């Protein structure tokens, strides 16, 4: 059983404890004096790419690589009051202090000096998910039971955030490693509730729609079936999940994880699928960390369907990837990739799949 307890921080941001049944009661009062959280985020429309860009200049002042004894995600203790009032926790979720999107953003359009570039308030919500109270841990260090608690938190937040009027898609993700750009080393991830459908999802939907019109089949399911038949890029499979390196992988190390049954979001997984997921995910993260002598920096991105999917085009899947291309080299986006969005991959997906199977 999962025990969920809600409270508010000193600046009225919401905080939710997710605890195992039997965990002790948590501190609820935040004694700090905090300034009001900025609600100045904007959305600006790019007419050439036809997508929204988030503008959040207040994030320039966000916390950057503090020493461990000043970590804002560790439990509070005497002499250090953190973002979490309790002296311990299992999993905790709270509104980001430096959000890219805010439910307090002013309503209505903002004045623009170019009619082709409309400006909207940056409505939405950004949350932080702390996976463990242990500052030196990583997600891969969690037990299956603890990982399952994180998955339950993702699912609950997906359900609740999807009900906010104006939210179009919920994105759960983790970025690990300074090389990725992480500014807090404590094991944590984030959740974005967007007021628009993200560009990647829009593009995937268009491809799935065209494939269905041509063949009558679901493109995601067809890709999954082909990978299972070929087997050369499959890393692992269970009764409910399949992990494989995509045949056109863009990143030096990249794995996609699909449920065998088509669902749109983490919240739609049944009990057996959720229970199976924790073991699959932990296995993959540990394989990543055994590729080289040091843990891999990575991004774990849960591609969930939009809040509205009338054509039933979306299919939940995880994209787990790293920018490390050798033990001592990173992949930087060069001219073709940064300027034109045309990727060049340095390693064949089949070779990466074999290395991950051997790890």
Report the candidate in 254, 268, 262 with the shortest Cα–Cα distance to residue 212: 262
SS (H, E, C) the chain: CEEEEEEECCCCCEEEEEEECCCCCCCCCCCCCCCCCCCCCEEEEECCCCEEEEECHHHHHCCCCCCHHHCCCCECECCECCCECCCCCCEEEEECCCCCCECCCCCCCECCCCCCCCEEECECEEEEEECCCCCCCCHHHCCHHHHHHHHHHHHHHHHHHHCCCCCCEEEEEEEECHHHCCCCCCCEEEEEEECCCCHHHHHHHHHHHHHHHHHCCCHHHHHHHHHHHHCCCEEEECCCEEEECCCCCCCCEEEEEEECCCCCCHHHCCHHHHHHHHHHHHHHHHHHHCCCCCCCCEEEEEECCECCCCCCCCCCEEEEEECEEECCEECCCCHHHHHHCCCCCCCCHHHHHHHHHHC
**20 — phi, psi (to 5°)?**
-65, 150
Are 172 and 93 within 8 A, CB to CB? no
CA–CA dist 150, 302 (Å, integer): 13
Please report the sign of the dihedral spanned by the C-alpha atoms of residue 344, residue 212, residue 259, residue 160.
Answer: positive
188 part of the active site: yes
Catalytic residue, candidates 58, 135, 186, 188? 188
Point out the residues that are catalytic.
188
């Amino acid at each position: 059983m999962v025990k969920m307890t809600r409270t508010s921080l000193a600046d009225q941001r919401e905080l939710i404890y997710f605890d195992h049944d039997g965990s002790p009661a948590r501190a609820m009062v935040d004694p700090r004096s905090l300034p009001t959280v900025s609600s100045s985020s904007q959305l600006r429309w790019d007419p050439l790419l036809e997508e929204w860009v988030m503008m959040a200049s207040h994030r320039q002042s966000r916390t950057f690589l503090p020493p461990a004894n000043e970590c804002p995600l560790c439990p509070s203790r005497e002499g250090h009051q953190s973002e979490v009032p309790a002296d311990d926790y299992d999993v905790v979720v709270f509104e980001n202090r430096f959000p890219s999107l805010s439910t307090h953003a002013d309503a209505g359009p903002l004045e623009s000096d170019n009619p082709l570039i409309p400006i909207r308030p940056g409505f939405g919500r950004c949350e932080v998910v702390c996976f463990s109270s242990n500052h030196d841990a990583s997600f891969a260090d969690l037990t299956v039971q603890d990982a399952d608690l994180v998955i339950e938190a993702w699912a609950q937040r997906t359900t609740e955030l999807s009900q906010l009027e104006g939210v179009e898609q919920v994105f759960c993700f983790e970025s690990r490693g300074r090389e990725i750009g992480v500014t807090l080393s404590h094991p944590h991830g984030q959740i974005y509730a967007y007021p628009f459908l993200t560009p990647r999802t829009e593009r995937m939907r268009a491809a799935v729609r065209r494939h269905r019109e041509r063949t009558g089949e679901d493109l995601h399911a067809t890709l999954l079936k082909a990978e299972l038949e070929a087997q050369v890029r499959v890393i692992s499979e269970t009764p409910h999940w399949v992990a494989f390196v995509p045949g056109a992988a863009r990143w030096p190390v990249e794995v996609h994880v699909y449920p065998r049954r088509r669902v749109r979001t983490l919240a739609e997984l049944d009990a057996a699928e959720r229970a199976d997921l924790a073991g699959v995910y932990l296995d993959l993260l540990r394989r990543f960390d055994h590729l080289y002598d040091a843990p891999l920096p990575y991004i774990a991105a849960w591609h969930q369907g939009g809040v509205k999917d009338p054509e039933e085009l979306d299919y939940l899947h995880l994209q787990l990837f790293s920018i490390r291309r050798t033990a001592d080299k990173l992949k930087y986006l060069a001219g073709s990739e940064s300027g034109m969005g045309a990727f060049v991959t340095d390693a064949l997906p089949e070779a990466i799949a074999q290395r991950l199977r051997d790890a």
